[in-house]
Chains A and B, each alone.
Chain A
Amino acid sequence: MVKTEGLQFKYPGGQAFEFPNIILNSQEHLLVLGPSGVGKTTLLHLLSGILPASSGSIVINETEITALDRKGLDLFRGAYVGLIFQQYHFIKSLNVDENLRLRQNFPKKTMDKERRFAIAERLGLTPYLKKKVMQLSQGQQQRLSIALGLIHRPQVVFADEPTSNLDDFNCNQVINLLKDEAELCGSSLVIITHDQRVTQHFSNQIVL
């Protein structure tokens, strides 16, 4: 499902990173642990194809994304990859439901209203569907970003520090939500974190 080989990245005129090979089967999850500054976010950006690798290859769902051009990469990412960012990113001029619809719409149009309402219901967002995203609380924004990462049933979801800034109770809840949703969608989950509380939830781990 996800397979990397000899993955390297060098920032222009700066730090160089070398990453261990990853092999992840379909619907398996992976936890990538490591302290700040070892290139966790860089790895996530490489895997999700928003940062081109300096060398090595990444294969996701039988597609070697390191060989795709920019346009192909955009389309591939839109269809098969879900991203949950450390900083939440939304379209601020749209409300919660419209943000979800927008994510459903590209690259191929799927106006699956039931899917939207179901995921909103499970993540406790139903009362806020018509709200502007900036009016949501921190926790609601977190749940919305999970919904946005999974609504289009991606093959693999990459989550960057999803539990930082959360207390223990919420940390557990978010991890459970992520795992449950990923299960429901049949997606693989790759979580990148320095948060030790998460380790108990995943057996498949690598440390950078």
Chain B
Amino acid sequence: MNLLYLAYRNMVSKPLNMVLSLVLLVLSVSLVTFVLQLGKQLNGQMDKNITPVDMVVGAKGSPLQLVLSSVLHIDVPTGNIKLKEAESIKNHPFVGSAISVSYGDNYKGYRILGTEPGYLDNYGVVLSAGGLFQQPFEIVAGNTVAKKLGLQIGDRITSSHGLAAAGGEAHDDHPFTIVGVLEPSGTVVDQLLVCDLESIWDAHAHDGGEHHDEGEELEDEEHDHEEHDHEEHDHEEHDHEEHDHEEHDHEEHDHEEHDHEEHDHEEHDHKEHEGGQQVHDEANDTGHDHEDHDDELEITSLLVKFKSPLGLVQLPRFINENTNMQAALPGFEIQRLMGFLGSGVKTINGIAFAILFVSGFSIFISLLKTIRERRQELALLRTYGLGTRKLLFLVLFEGLLLALIGFWLGWVFGRLALALASGYIESGYGYVLQLNGPDLPELLLFGVTLVIAMIAVLLASTSIFKLNISKTLADV
């Protein structure tokens, strides 16, 4: 029979008191650990993802969107740019490496990224099996993609139009062959299927040569979609002619991939389909006939790594002012984004810490109540030979036990919440959250929790020093 056991028995003898004290503590600890972990892991992943890219050059629109879409692959692109224009930047003396990326198709929800082999080098991703893509329609699978979809080397996959899993029109006539699988890298590459640029151009090049391409600057954002729309429609048109598809097919399709804006287009398009696609609608007249001329080849964006820091100062401004393209700096944009989110995180943390202090207060009240109720027992223990200090330890143990259990439960709940969030975030954004052991900030939080419990105990136990054994024991 030691004091620790007695403290434990005292604690569990009043389960309602205990639960009340614990609930607040668990709530605050789980909130704080959850937010800390979420922020840390998302930040870490984002940092990893944006480090290889100093600047993104893409179609005009929101710079944040450009970064989110072309670097982090969690948003839709702002549009396309001419390969020829992009090439001109490649040759700028301040530019170290510049890698073209083009995308707009998916396989079962995973993006197919047309790019150059240098893209993988920049992320430091290496093959775990197979080889790199050598020719069009050879493709390597990111580690997560391969694992999740069970892709093997030699598998043939058919890409679907658009960036979301469902509803995209399938490019049946251009299947890809898996030639390699990548090592896990903890970057966005894990979530991608990577092929060369020609594959992307070719996959979308089978839609006849009816359209003219000009004025892509007219449709800044959604440009790409619209463009793809056209392509789709083109495909559809073809399909129409070929397979007599029903109209609502198109509608569904468009819906899922694109915004309201496009309803008009759809209608137009439908009419067009009927009319045989000559009366192509006004705003959408962009070019897709990639094969027509090399001049007209397009990419979604250009990922630039500077050779000289001067590039950072001069190039973005130059591009934004003198070209039809825009330049965005991932580091800056993500910092800006985190600035928006940061206040939210701060608020949640603030609330969590407020709850932590309230829970400290509730432990204080609960112990104060306990000490009052057990005054006679404490006096009895004094007659058993326990000194004041031991009684203080008894109460301290009880308070610390509460804090310990509360922290542990809270930590576990925080991780459970993280596991839940991980499922959600992975399906939405392809980010996987790790369930790590306790890290330094959490240990600090543990310390804070213990200190708060200790203060609560000391404040609550002042009456122990003034305990009048004789009077207490004589009272009925």
When chains A and B are docked, how far (Å) is the Cα of A98 from the Cα of B377?
A: 14
- Are A74 and B387 in contact, with the CB atoms below 8 A? yes
Chain B: interface residue count, which band?
A: 20 to 34
Question: A89, B6: Cβ atoms under 8 Å?
Answer: no
Q: Which of B201-209, B265-273, B402-410, B466-474 contacts A (4 or more CB under 8 A)?
A: B466-474
By a CB distance below 8 angstroms, the chain A residues around B13 are: 92-93
Tell me whether B388 is interfacial, beta carbon within 8 Å: yes
Contact A50 B383 (CB under 8 A): yes
Residues from chain B with Cβ under 8 Å of A83 in the complex: 383
Q: What's the least CB distance linking B474 to chain A, in Å?
A: 6
In the complex, given contacts A45-B473, A75-B385, A75-B387, what are 8 additional A-B residue pairs having Cβ atoms less than 8 angstroms apart?
Answer: A74-B387, A76-B385, A81-B383, A89-B379, A89-B473, A91-B381, A102-B384, A107-B385
- Give min CB distance, A136 to chain B, whole Å: 16
- Which residue on B lies nearest to A100, using beta carbons? B1
CB-based contact A74/B385 at 8 Å: yes
- The interface size bin for chain A is 20 to 34
A contact residues around B6 at 8 Å (CB) = 91, 93-94, 102
Interface majority SS (helix, strand, loop, mixed), chain B: helix
Measured between beta carbons, the chain A residues less than 8 angstroms from B379 are 50, 89
Q: List 18 A-B pairs, Cβ < 8 Å.
A: A41-B474, A50-B382, A50-B383, A74-B386, A74-B387, A75-B387, A77-B382, A77-B385, A78-B383, A83-B383, A87-B473, A91-B380, A92-B377, A93-B10, A93-B13, A94-B6, A94-B9, A106-B386
Select from chain A the residue with minimum beta-carbon distance to B10: A93
Q: How many angstroms between the C-alpha atoms of A79 and B386 in the bound complex?
A: 11
- Minimum CB–CB distance from A57 to chain B (whole Å) comes to 18
List A contacts of B384 (CB < 8 A): 77-78, 102-103, 106
**Using Cβ atoms and an 8 Å threshold, which residues of chain B touch A103?**
384
Contact of A106 with B385 at beta-carbon distance under 8 Å, contacts A45-B470, A92-B377 already known: yes
Chain B residues near A93: list those with CB within 8 A. Answer: 6, 9-10, 12-13
Whether A48 pairs with B388 at a CB distance below 8 angstroms is no
* Cβ B377 vs Cβ A89 within 8 A: yes
Asked if A176 lies at the interface with its beta carbon under 8 angstroms from chain B, I say no
Q: Which of A55-102 contact B (CB under 8 A)?
A: 70-71, 74-79, 81, 83, 85, 87, 89-94, 98, 101-102
Question: Is A205 part of the binding interface, using a Cβ–Cβ cutoff of 8 Å?
Answer: no
Given A89-B473, A93-B9, does the pair A101, B1 have CB atoms closer than 8 Å?
yes
The reply to whether A48 and B383 contact each other, CB–CB distance below 8 Å, is yes
Measured CB to CB, the closest approach of chain B to A92, in angstroms, equals: 7
- A-facing residues in B352-385 (Cβ within 8 Å): 376-377, 379-385
B288 CB to nearest A CB, Å:
79
Q: How many Å lie between the Cα of A77 and that of B380 in the bound state? A: 11
**Chain A: minimal CB distance from B359 (Å):** 23
- Measured CA separation A58–B212 after assembly (Å): 115
Give chain B residues whose Cβ lies under 8 Å from the Cβ of A48. Answer: 383
Which chain A residue lies CB-closest to B474?
A41
CB of B437 to closest CB in A, whole Å: 34
The contact of B380 among A45, A51, A89, by CB within 8 Å, is: A89
Which chain B positions have C-beta within 8 A of A25? none
Question: Once the chains are docked, how many angstroms separate the CA of A91 from the CA of B384?
Answer: 12
Residue A105 interfacial (CB < 8 Å)? yes
Q: A89-B376, A106-B384 are in contact. Are A45 and B1 (CB under 8 A)?
A: no
> Which single residue of chain B is at the shortest CB-CB distance from A52?
B470
- For A41, the chain B residues whose CB sits under 8 A away are 474
Nearest to A48 among chain B residues (CB) is: B383
Residues of chain A lying within 8 A (CB to CB) of residue B310 = none
Task: In the A-B complex, list the 7 residue pairs whose CB atoms are closest, starting with the nearest.
Answer: A78-B385, A93-B13, A107-B385, A51-B470, A93-B9, A50-B469, A101-B1
Q: Known contacts A74-B386, A91-B6, A103-B384; is A98 also within 8 Å of B470 by CB?
A: no
Q: B387–A71 contact, CB under 8 A?
A: yes
Q: Does B16 contact A (CB under 8 A)?
A: no
Given the complex of chains A and B, what is the CA–CA distance between A137 and B384 in angstroms?
24
A106 to B474, CA, bound (A): 22
